[in-house]
Each structure stands twice: as structure tokens, then as C-alpha cells.
Amino acid sequence: MRTDTNAFHDMVEAAIASLPPAFRPAAAEVLVSVVDLPPRDVLQSLGMHDPMDLTGLYEGIPLTEKSVFDQPMGPDTIWLYRLPILAEWRDRGDVDLADLVAHVYVHELAHHFGWSDEDIAAIDRWWE
């Protein structure tokens, strides 16, 4: 099984294609970047120390907060951290890698739609 950056992008494309049609246009506007590990400054800003604890991050202005008065700050971006995702996949042993990548992607995409972690947890029992 391929686990390189291109394979992760392919898995995200498959996840986007499986979204309900109403969500696909907004999802297509969000840049997806796959890197091995989160940068130290990102970890510090989140109060985290171990880069293996962060599998994904949404960076942008949620659609529920966007305004025509906002100054462009670059594209909204979903960051997927490849090595932590791979470590979780190996540790779990009970999930397909493509499913895990799709789950992390959809979780971060939910933030783009204005959902909080609490909102997502209320309907997503993935981690139980």
C-alpha cells in the first residue's frame, strides 16, 4: 500500500468525491496540504508539544464567519500530518488507511463549515 504524500492526496480526492453533492463545491475551494509533521510554531500555538498528537488542522475563516469585508489572507487550508496519521493507523490496526485519512479530512472540513470540536464529537463516534 502506498503511504506517500501523493497517496494521501489521492485518498482526499476520493473522500471529496464521496461527499454529498451539496458540500463538494465548498470543499473544492479549500486547499489540502499534506506534510509529514506539524511545525513547532503550530504546536506551540495549540499548547501541544508532541507532533505525533496532531493529525490534522483547519486554517482559515469558517464559512459561518466569512464576510465580504474580510481582507484576503490566503486560501483556507486543511493540513494533514502524514506521520501522525500513519502512526495512528498502525496503532489502531482496525481501520483502513483511506478511511482514516478521509475521517481526518472530513473532521477538518467540518471546521470550515463552522462546526466546533464539540459539535463534531456529538455526531461522530469514530474515536470510541
Name the one residue in this structure whose C-alpha cell is 506539524: 38
How much is the pLDDT for 122?
65
Q: What CATH number belongs to 5-123? A: 3.30.2010.20
Digit-by-digit pLDDT tens for the chain (128 residues) are 889 999 999 999 999 998 888 888 989 989 999 999 999 999 999 999 999 999 999 998 777 777 666 666 778 999 999 999 999 999 999 999 999 999 999 989 988 878 777 777 666 665 55
63 contact partners, CB below 8 Å, separation of at least 6 = 26, 112, 113, 114
How much is the pLDDT for 127?
54
How much is the pLDDT for 87?
98
The ranges assigned to domains in the chain are 5-123
Element (H, E) at 79: strand 77-81
